[in-house]
């Protein structure tokens, strides 16, 4: 058991090292294509619709109930201590800083990242990627760049929608405990700062990069037919969620450090 566990850890570490190297190479190539204007705008817009528009229903449902559960667990105690004027700010800060960006990114990773890995992986095993290379079309420029750019642009916009819905859902629950709309909004305006909002949205840019890069990278290294596509899809979801959690901690730590420096 010890040797098997050690081998599994070693394989995971090697996978992360390979991903770091491959992702760095792809990012450099994407930057060159973007600067030279060689990224397809049509393909990018199509991917924005897939990542953003098609993900709205499941993302909205997730954050709606997340906001409602957050209010459900806090409203009773807050109201009982006569601090109902704090509830809106508590919900807004939680959604803007952590819950909104992280939960939205996880939903997109599960829905879109896995689909990207399956789509690109299917193209690999059916030799469509080799056909692109034979036509002098770089797969990174044609397949990866539009998806990565679309993910970095679309995920912040999707997060804004989900955070608004989550805040409204939280108010619906808070209203049942006697919290008025005016008190709720006043609390949000009092505690939520532009730094909190834009800091959280800035994290989603990184999350969008992670989800799309992992999905495309796993898809491009797919081997073994249909079974390989399944493995790539599973690996994409697992790796994306782990990297989102790690990136969220590191980014949150840096944002807090910067906020302390900027505080008067």
Report the alpha-carbon angle 20-22-27, nearest 5.
90
Contact 158, 59 (CB under 8 A): yes
What global pTM score does this model have? 0.90
d(CA 189, CA 16): 42
The pLDDT value given to residue 80: 76
Q: Which residues contact 54 (CB under 8 A, 6 or more apart)?
A: none
CB count within 10 Å of CB 238 equals 14
d(CA 155, CA 153): 6
The pLDDT value given to residue 160: 96
Nearest CA to 165 out of 58, 69, 64 is that of 64
The pLDDT value given to residue 6: 75
The pLDDT value given to residue 82: 76
The pLDDT value given to residue 261: 80
Would you list the domain boundaries of the chain? 40-248
d(CA 67, CA 169): 6
Secondary element (H or E) of residue 179: none
The pLDDT value given to residue 264: 61
Mean pLDDT by 10 residues, the chain (264 residues): 70 78 87 88 92 93 94 83 81 92 95 92 88 85 92 95 95 88 90 90 95 92 85 91 94 88 70
């Amino acid at each position: 058991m010890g040797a098997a566990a050690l081998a599994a850890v070693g394989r995971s570490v090697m996978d992360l090292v390979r991903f770091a190297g491959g992702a760095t190479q792809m990012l450099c190539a994407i930057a060159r294509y973007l600067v030279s204007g060689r990224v397809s705008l049509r393909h990018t817009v199509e991917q924005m619709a897939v990542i953003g528009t098609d993900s709205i229903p499941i993302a909205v449902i997730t954050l709606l109930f997340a906001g409602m559960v957050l209010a459900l667990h806090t409203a009773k105690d807050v109201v009982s201590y006569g601090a109902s004027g704090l509830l809106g700010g508590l919900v807004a800060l939680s959604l803007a800083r952590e819950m909104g960006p992280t939960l939205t990114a996880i939903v997109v990773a599960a829905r879109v990242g896995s689909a990207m890995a399956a789509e690109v992986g299917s193209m690999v095993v059916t030799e469509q990627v080799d056909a692109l290379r034979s036509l002098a079309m770089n797969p990174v420029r044609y397949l990866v760049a539009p998806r990565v750019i679309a993910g970095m642009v679309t995920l912040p916009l999707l997060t804004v929608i989900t955070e608004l819905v989550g805040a409204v859902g939280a108010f619906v629950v808070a209203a049942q405990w006697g919290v008025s709309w005016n008190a709720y909004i006043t609390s949000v305006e009092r505690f939520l700062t532009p730094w909190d909002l834009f800091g959280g949205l800035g994290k989603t840019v990184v999350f969008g990069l992670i989800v799309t890069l992992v999905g495309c990278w796993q898809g491009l290294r797919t081997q073994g037919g249909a079974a390989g596509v399944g493995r790539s899809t599973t690996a994409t979801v697992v790796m994306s969620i782990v990297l989102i959690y790690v990136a969220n901690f590191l980014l949150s730590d840096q944002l807090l450090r910067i906020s302390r420096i900027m505080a008067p």
